Chains A and B, each alone.
Chain A
């Protein structure tokens, strides 16, 4: 680990990507993530990479498609409406089984919405994002240091599973500054990119590589789908990550929250403790695969009377919490929308109202 640096989330994410050997960035500006392309435009050319501002998000994602097909480490970043515009290309990339990293610093929706932090794109992120029965691996940092660490993992996971990985932040993660330390590249042992379209001279069997997501024969397309589902099963088995905070034995209530709201909830837990209410938090770090099993175990075995999902949305992750709890305990929801970050006192009075 190096020296601690005070850095904005967006800039830290960009620096982490470069240190994880990302050398290509294609994107289109949108607040509140503009410091990512700004940093990339300044740094990538100096460090042997290419930064290109596309004419639109649609073009950017297809540049990602091309660069990923050549085996390069490549990323883009955007915020909510921009990700929607990229949706079609993301499905092509998944269909062609190519790795890339996407960052969404979520802003308030719907439509152009506003530029304040929100978690209203949870469903978009974890329920496929795009057409065609697919998944993204979704990582949700709650601090700048975690955002940095997850960027390295995002590139490794993308390469390992040949699937896009989405880092889901929000305006606050993007805009705030916290101290960060950068580690060196992970140098994780990854399968060689024998599929990359880098010319017959480079391919092990001397044959040309075709990058494609069009399979006219239903049998061929079903084979692709089966291969994708096999891969997703492995991801679900191996890659679930979460944090347990104050999940002691004598619980009255269990919170579920991710990213920015999980920090507010940690403060709430401290305050509730002062009033004799024991609360804990299960914080999903991977939103897909979702930490279903651990939530289910606590639903069966804990003394808690209820689960409460706190989100900056009208209630999206709460559906996955309900599926995980599977009727064993009541599941409640508290959320604010439109770019409003819930205040601790609102959450506290909500919790008291249900206990």
Chain B
């Protein structure tokens, strides 16, 4: 496996954490991983992104030039990064808030309305994990059990109560993907 994933969105949508959890899960499955954040003067409401590489081989450069997957959680992210996707790569669009189409016709597009799915679960804070569910269902990046372990390791103390919410988000994302797309 060699996936180069750009995850991008508004500050507050949890794109950094999505990348971190995914990297951690892949690490636990003995993959080589790197996580590189954009760390400019970011602020809530601004855009933020991270580059995640998951590979069977040692990772040379942590900077992604050509992505195999792009996760666009908002419109500016789609506009900025769609050109980086490799031909035949995967594009995950947060179709709840992105009202334009990609101008790439040579990539596989998955439209996941993560905000709407999250509303049904009852929290907007877990849109990142809804997207994560769709991603792992599509690409078998990591197993759901490993992902759940990562939740348990990271959400401790006062955050422990959010484990179930995150698991629900992950499962709803997976479910939406299987009902609408083929992996």
Q: Which residues of A contact B (CB under 8 A)?
A: 4, 6, 31-32, 115-116, 171-172, 175-179, 263-264, 266-267, 270, 341, 343-345
Contact = CB atoms under 8 A, between A and B. Distances in A.
Contacts of B105: none
B36 to A, nearest CB: 4
B75 interface: no
Interface string B11-55: 000000000100110010000111111011100000000000000
B61 A178 contact: no
Contacts of B39: 31-32, 115, 171, 175
B173 to A, nearest CB: 22
Contacts of B37: 175-176
A345 B34 CA distance: 21
Grouping DSSP codes into helix (H, G, I), strand (E, B) and loop, the A interface class, with mixed when no group exceeds half, is mixed
A85 B39 CA distance: 24
A267 B60 contact: yes
Nearest to A6: B24
A179 B33 contact: yes
A175 B33 contact: no
Nearest to A271: B60
Nearest to B31: A179
A179 B60 CA distance: 14
A181 B39 CA distance: 25
Given A172-B36, A343-B63, 19 more contacts: A4-B27, A6-B20, A6-B24, A32-B39, A115-B40, A171-B39, A172-B62, A172-B63, A175-B37, A175-B39, A176-B62, A177-B23, A177-B34, A178-B35, A178-B62, A266-B60, A266-B61, A344-B61, A344-B65
B63 A341 contact: yes
A177 B61 contact: no
A151 B65 CA distance: 31
Contacts of A116: 40
Nearest to B57: A270
Given A115-B39, A178-B35, A179-B33, A6 B60 contact: no
A264 B60 contact: yes
A179 B33 CA distance: 7
Nearest to A343: B65
Given A177-B20, A179-B27, A6 B35 contact: yes
A31 B61 CA distance: 22
Contact of B23 (A6, A270, A343): A6
B35 A263 contact: no
A270 B59 CA distance: 12
Of the listed residues B20, B36, B63, the one surrounded by the most CB atoms of chain A closer than 10 A to its CB is B63
B60 A177 contact: no
Contacts of B61: 263-264, 266-267, 344
A177 B40 contact: no
